[in-house]
Amino acid sequence: MVRIEKVNGKNVWDLLKLKVSDEQRSFVASNDTSIIEAYTAITGNGYAFPFGIYEENTPVGFLMIGFDVDDYWDDAPEIAKGNYNLWRLMIDKAYQGRGYGKEAVSLALDFIKSSPCGLAEYCWLSYEPENEVAKKLYSSFGFNETGDMDGEELIAVLKL
């Protein structure tokens, strides 16, 4: 059974070992970068929820959820204000193709719908335009591209 667990002092080192394939590196930041970004968001009066994705007790991926904007996010897209963000999702190269990404998105949406930071109208995310796997996965949950960009990435939203 797939589950998510908040990053903590006991699991962080195993999560840092997870990697995507070389061809996918341009699609998602490394887990160490993500954990650093979570820390800086939180210390900048923002919200970040980094999780390990597990099959039973085996770490298979990493997921991070954000909410609103922090004090230092100067170029935040308008949709970020007051809404949740599926900020990161990665499945280790050894565990891809087994449905873990889909299960992780479902668990992430369950977490978001629990309103840990209060109610919001939308969950948004962004991905590289050439990342067809991400587009297919997210659209299967009802995320729709808006035509807006977050840097070089396409933005897609889901009404909660």
Q: How confident is the model at residue 137, as a pLDDT?
A: 96
What pLDDT does 125 receive? Answer: 98
| Closest to 60 (Cα-Cα) out of 31, 88, 90 | 90
Contacts of 143 (CB under 8 A, 6+ apart): 123, 125, 156, 157, 158
Quote the pTM value: 0.94
Instruction: Output the pLDDT for position 28.
Output: 87
C-alpha dihedral sign at 135, 158, 112, 84: positive
The domain in which residue 17 lies consists of 2-121
Domain contains 148: no
Per-residue pLDDT of the chain (160 residues; tens, 9 = 90+): 999 999 999 999 999 999 988 888 878 889 999 999 999 999 999 999 999 999 999 999 999 999 999 998 889 999 999 999 999 999 999 999 999 999 999 999 999 999 999 999 999 999 999 999 999 999 999 999 999 999 999 999 999 9
Would you state the structure tokens that stand for residue 9, as one six-digit string? Answer: 């002092």
- In the chain, the number of structural domains is 1
**Residue 16 near residue 29 (C-beta atoms within 8 A):** no
- d(C-alpha 21, C-alpha 125), whole Å: 21
For residue 139, being part of any structural domain is answered with no
Is 84 within a domain?
yes
Which residues lie below 8 Å from residue 124, measured CB to CB, with a gap of 6+? 77, 79, 80, 83, 84, 85, 86, 155, 156, 157, 158
Q: Say if 116 falls within a structural domain.
A: yes
Report pLDDT for 9: 95
* Residues 93/131, Cβ–Cβ less than 8 Å: no
**Does residue 56 sit within a domain?**
yes
Report the pLDDT value the prediction gives residue 24, as an integer from 0 to 100.
Answer: 86
In a domain, residue 51? The reply is: yes
Query: Beta strand pairing status for 2-6 and 122-127?
Result: unpaired
Residue 114 within any structural domain of the chain: yes
- Give the CATH number for residue 79: 3.40.630.30
Q: Is residue 95 part of a domain?
A: yes
